[in-house]
Amino acid sequence: MGDTNSTSTERQLSSEKAEAILAGGMQEFLTHGFAATSMDRVAKSAGVSKATVYSHFQDKEGLFNALIRRLVEEQFSLIFASSDKEIQQADPAIVLSALANRVLEVGTKDPQFINFMRVILGESGRFPKLARAFVRNIEKTAFNTLCQYLSSCLNLSDPEATARIFVGTLVHYLIVQEMLHGKDILPMERDRLVENLVTLIVGNSAKKI
């Protein structure tokens, strides 16, 4: 019994340290960027030893990749929040509108997400592996799920291309409006964008029935 309690306590402490390291890493990467962040900085910010940081996340790239996975899981797991059965039975226009609005909500209301995206884009030239890791995680969580939905619920000739058009439109909006501060240069109401995007996709599906 004592050994079980001891093991449980150790796991809890290890989990708490990992969370502290992730939080410290996020703070340091957002403040200094990937290149200028050191594991010493992360350890100090997390309140742990550098050896503890390395024992949880083998190196700086491993820590950054863990943050990418965490960010993607937290933000994009909410995109298809309903059960598969509920989604299959719902009006596609409602499902796609809700999906688009969740994506844009994350991009416009979560400054940490936007700032982390800036770090990834800013470092992508020198550290292409980081950008590829982000794309790979997005592919697994959001893009594949969207492709599966479009394939099963809409009569589309090319669901994969349609998924890219859908995601690309939303990403372009976030980059121009939020990341590049272009709201006053290329203004566009979010509701107008979503309504027209969904109408194009659902309308294109209806024409093939």
Domain positions in the chain are 1-58, 73-207
**Distance (Å, whole) CA 115 – CA 121:** 10
Q: pLDDT tens digits for 103-126?
A: 898 888 888 888 998 999 999 999
CATH for 1-58 (3.30.300.30, 1.20.1050.10, 3.40.50.2300, 1.10.10.60): 1.10.10.60
Contacts 24+ apart (CB under 8 A), 112-115: 112/26, 112/30, 113/71, 113/75, 114/174, 114/178, 114/179, 115/30
User: How is domain 73-207 classified at the CATH fold level?
Assistant: Tetracycline Repressor; domain 2 (1.10.357)
Q: List the alpha helices (DSSP H) in 58-154.
A: 60-76, 84-89, 92-109, 111-123, 128-138, 144-153
pLDDT value at residue 114: 87
**Distance (Å, whole) CA 204 – CA 99:** 18
pTM as predicted: 0.79
Q: pLDDT tens digits for 171-190?
A: 999 999 988 999 999 999 99
Using alpha carbons, select from 50, 64, 161, 73 the residue that is nearest to residue 119.
64
pLDDT value at residue 190: 95
What is the signed CA dihedral for 138, 125, 105, 153, rounded to 10 degrees?
Answer: -30
Determine the average pLDDT of the residues in 70-77: 77
